[in-house]
Each structure stands twice: as structure tokens, then as C-alpha cells.
Structure 1
Amino acid sequence: MEYLYGIQIFLILMFFFFSYLILIRKNYRLISGFHSSSPEEQQQMIKTGYPQAVGKMMLHVGIVLTLGFLLQLFHIPYAMEGSYIVMLIVLLIESLLMTKKRKKKSQKINKTVLAVSFILVIVVFAIPFLPNTLEIHENSFEMTGLYGEEWAFSDVEEISLYDELPEIIIRTNGISMFGKHLGNYRMEELGAGKLFLRSDKAPYIVVHTQDNFVIINTDQPDKTMAYYQQLQQASQQNNID
């Protein structure tokens, strides 16, 4: 968790630092397209307030991320995720407003970039909501969907239900958003394994294999319990065979 905090603090400091360089130090060469413009075009952008608008946008983003980080420290649910959403909204709106302050031949390009960025934002935030489904095969079980994988029952050592999970140390290759954790993680006591967590509420199915572990739950406790019973029954049947 300290690793994630470090990344968040780095992003916050970066936005504040660049806003300082632009607004206070007036280092406009940091702004994309300013250095390549002619002196006349640069003066026109300064006159319309384009560099100042860029600096203020970075300042606003830094403030939004700082508030999200502080609320997260007080364990406010989804504080950081919410701040990222607000950050993206600020970036989109203020970038759109700034297109009017740029030279005309750049406005069409900027609007196209903004439209593509908006679509990408929607896609990124939709990814955690793509479903994962448990499928039981004759000699294995599989989690389909994003970060899906298949495990042989011959490799399963134990299937347990947890009311509380050890703390996540680091996400090595996955997605954590809106209380959902999907992909590869390292956890205290358990080591490295794979998570398919659709909710931060118990119960959690923990499957220990010979090499690692996989943890599964859904946003419906009854459905999670049904998954657990299916896994237990299929595992016991394979052991008998």
C-alpha cells in the first residue's frame, strides 16, 4: 500500500511543480506547441491567456488529487477513484475551453484528441465491470473474462472461505478500481496470486494451489457461496476419482 501512496504523491507533486513553472516562473516552453510556434503566434497565445490556462488546469488537477489522497487516508470509500474521475472531467472541460485560445489550425486537432481521450476514459472505467464467470470442467475450474485462467483440480491443495483477507501489498499486473481487484497481486501471509474480487465484502473463496492461490468473490454473497459449493463438490469428486 505504501508503494501506491508513493505513486499518488509523485503525481500530485508533478502537477503542482509544472503549474508553478508555468504560472510563477512563466516557463511557457514546457507547453506543447508553444516552442514550435512563431514569435507572433506565441505572443498571440500569451495575449489570449492560453499558457496561464494550461498552468491553472495543472493546478486544479493537483488540488483534486490532493483532496482525494487526503480523503483516502481517512478511509473514505472510493475517495481516490472519485478524484480520478473528477480529474478527468477537469482535464476534458478545461482542455476543451483552451482550444479557443490556441491558433485556429490547432483547434480541430485538439477537439479530435479530446474526443478520442473521452472515449478512452469511458473504456478504461468500463473495464472493471466486465464480467468474470466461474466454469467447472471435468478436471479443472476456470475463471473466464479479464485476467482469466484455468486451474487443474489435481493442483488444488485447499479451498476455504474467508471473512477477512490479508492486506494487499502490491498490484503486480491488474486493475483496482471501485472496490474491485482483478489480476495479479502480492498479499501479506499468502504471497503472490490472482484476485477476482468484485466486492470488498465477505465471503471470499480462497483456493490454495501447489504454486500460488486464487481468491474469488462476487457482489452477491449468495452467488459467492454457490461458487464455493460448486468448487468443493467438484474438487471432492476429482479426489475420489
Structure 2
Amino acid sequence: MEYIYVIQIFLILLFFFFSYLILIRKNYYIISGFQSSTPEERQKMIKAGHPHAVGKMMLHIAIILSFGFLLQLLHVPYAMEGSYVIMLLVLFMESFRITKKVKKKSRKVNKTILLLSLMLTIVVFAIPFIPNTLEINENSFELTGLYGETWAFSDIENISLQDELPEITVRMNGISLFGNRIGNYRMEGLGTGKLFLRSKEAPFIVIRTLDSFVIINTEQIDKTVAYYQQLEQAYQQHNNH
């Protein structure tokens, strides 16, 4: 399973689990600041609806991420990014409303919510930097990491090193942040294939398969050229056997 899917499923299950603990099991002690409060303060928080509001927020986020995940599986463009943007908006808006449900003395409980928001934001923007590693075998090569896959040399038509790329027409299911373009894209004249681009600067390794394509580059020109030479050598050796 692709790493990006594992991360999304983990976050969805995590939010569903926390909402279950709070809304169904009434385990309010997992909310930061609740356990350290006095019995009187806890009762005031419960009466004000603070724990219930936190649980509902967790449930809303789980539902938003679930819809985003399903739409992504259906190849809806920008489904993942859109779900995370909506999730962050919900986090901040509902955190603000939750703050109003507690007295000033008890507002420290919202530190967990804000910290969680920050952590999730970091996760979202860190995803594009999960590295892809090229691994070359006798009969195939593999790109590990986000949207990684294995391609057999027998399915490859040619490998070339190019200074320019055709225009991207549609991002089918991928990430495009901070100059990284990773995932499934449709490109003019090439059709639908996979990009593993870590830089907008040339050169680009273009691998044409029987029915698709793979395009690779790295942040370093020398590393991209080295990848190309390794792939070309392995491909030629395979064809000569």
C-alpha cells in the first residue's frame, strides 16, 4: 500500500477512535487539562458541553478525511488537499467555539487541540518531502516511497534524458507542493503516467512504457544524471540477454 494511503488511514482511524472514547465511552480524561482539574471544574466543563464538543470535533474531522480519502480513490482532482484544508478550517473554527464553552481558568485544555492542529499541519506539508528511492534489479526497477511502484524492463520502450517536459493537463491523483510533483498525472502528448519530480529544473528522466510513462528527477543534477545512467545500463543489459 502506498505510504500516503497508510498515513491517511491512520489519521482517519485515530480521529474515529478518539471520538469514540469521548462521545461513547465518556472517557473525558484523555482531554488535556480535564484530569488535572478539580471535581468542581470538571462538572462545570461537562455542564458547559466542552468534552462533548471536543468529541464532535474529532468525529467531524474523521468524516471529512474519510470523504477525502474516498474521493481520492475515485481519482477526483485535489481531493486529498481539499480534505486537509477543510479539516484545518474545522479544527480552528471548532476550537474557537470550544474555547467559549469553558471559563478562562480552564482554557488551558485547548492547548491539546491547537497542538494537534499544528502537528497535522506539519504532517500535511511534510508529506511531499517523503523521499522516493530508486532501486534497480536485474529485470525491473522500483521507486519506493510516495506513489512508488515497480516496473519491469520488458515493459519499457525507451529511456531518455530530456531538458523539457510536455505540459501537465490534469493531476489525476497526486501531490503538487513546494516544487514537488508526485503521483498520477496526465500530460500533453504522453497520456497518463507517474511523475516523481523533486525539482522544476532539468534534466528529466523520461521512461516510456508500453501504455504509460514515468518521469523522474531529483534536486541535484548530478544525482538525476546518475539515475539515468544506472537505468539505461540496466535496461541495455536486460535487452542484450
- Give the residue type in structure 2 aligned to 1:204: F
Over the aligned positions, Cα root-mean-square deviation in angstroms equals 2.9
Deviations, residues 196-238 of structure 1 (Å, cap 9, x unaligned): 0000000000000001000000000000000000011000000
Give 2:190's aligned residue.
190
Counterpart Cα distance in 2 of 1:154 and 1:188? 25
Q: Deviations over 1:51-104 (max 9, x none)?
A: xxxxxxxxxxxxxxxxxxxxxxxxxxxxxx9xx99xx79x85x8877765x121
Q: What is the distance in 2 between the residues matched to 1:107 and 1:172?
A: 43
Once residues 97 and 194 of structure 1 are traced to their aligned partners in structure 2, the CA distance between those partners, rounded to angstroms, is 41
Q: Is the 8 A contact 1:99 1:107 kept in 2?
A: no
Q: What is the correspondence of 1:158-237 to structure 2 with a 5 Å cutoff?
A: 158-237=158-237
Helix, strand or coil at the partner of 2:170: strand
Q: Distance in 1 between matches of 2:210 and 2:129?
A: 30
Q: Following the alignment from structure 2 to structure 1, what is the Cα–Cα distance between the partners of residues 178 and 140?
A: 30
The one-letter code sitting in structure 2 at the alignment partner of 1:149 is E
Partner residue in 1 for 2:69: none
8 Å CA contact 2:132, 2:146 repeated in 1: yes
After superposition, residues 36-75 of structure 1 pair within 5 angstroms as none
Report the CA distance between 1:170 and its aligned residue.
1.3
Residue 110 of structure 1, CA deviation = 4.9
The answer on 1:104 being equivalent to 2:102 is yes
Q: For 1:97 and 1:185, how far apart are their aligned partners in 2?
A: 38
Check the 8 A contact 1:135/1:141 in 2, yes or no.
Answer: yes
Q: Deviations over 1:166-207 (max 9, x none)?
A: 111111111110000111111111110000000000000000
Q: What is the rounded CA distance, in whole Å, between the counterparts of 1:200 and 1:168 in structure 2?
A: 12
Are 1:134 and 2:131 matched, yes or no?
A: no
Structure 1 residue runs of 5 or longer lacking an equivalent are 1-40, 42-80
CA distance in 1, matches of 2:154, 2:205: 18
Runs of 4+ in structure 1 off by over 4 angstroms are 94-100, 105-111
**1:10-60 Cα distance to aligned partner (Å, 9 max, x none):** xxxxxxxxxxxxxxxxxxxxxxxxxxxxxxx9xxxxxxxxxxxxxxxxxxx
Percent sequence identity over aligned pairs: 66
Tell me the distance in 2 between the aligned counterparts of 1:192 and 1:165: 14
Q: Is the 8 A contact 2:95 2:113 kept in 1?
A: no
Question: Residue 12 of structure 2 aligns with which residue?
Answer: none
Q: Which residue identity does 2:218 align to in structure 1? A: T
SS of the residue corresponding to residue 104 of structure 1 reads coil
Letter in structure 2 aligned against 1:172: M
One-letter amino acid of the counterpart of residue 177, structure 2: M
Kindly state the Cα deviation for residue 118 of structure 1 after the two structures are TM-superposed: 1.4
Does the Cα contact within 8 Å between 1:182 and 1:194 map onto a contact in 2? yes
Name the amino acid aligned to 1:205: I
Give me the TM-score of the superposition, normalised by structure 2.
Answer: 0.58
Q: How many residues align?
A: 155
CA distance in structure 1 between the aligned counterparts of 2:111 and 2:215, rounded to whole angstroms: 43
Equivalent residue of 2:150, what SS?
strand
Task: Describe the SS at the equivalent of 2:145.
Answer: coil
- The aligned amino acid for 2:124 is V
Tell me which amino acid in the other structure corresponds to 2:153.
Answer: F
Cα distance in 1, alignment partners of residues 194 and 218 from structure 2: 15
- The DSSP-based 3-state class of the residue aligned with 1:159 is strand
- The answer as to 2:151 corresponding to 1:151 is yes
CA distance in 2 between partners of 1:208 and 1:103 (Å): 59
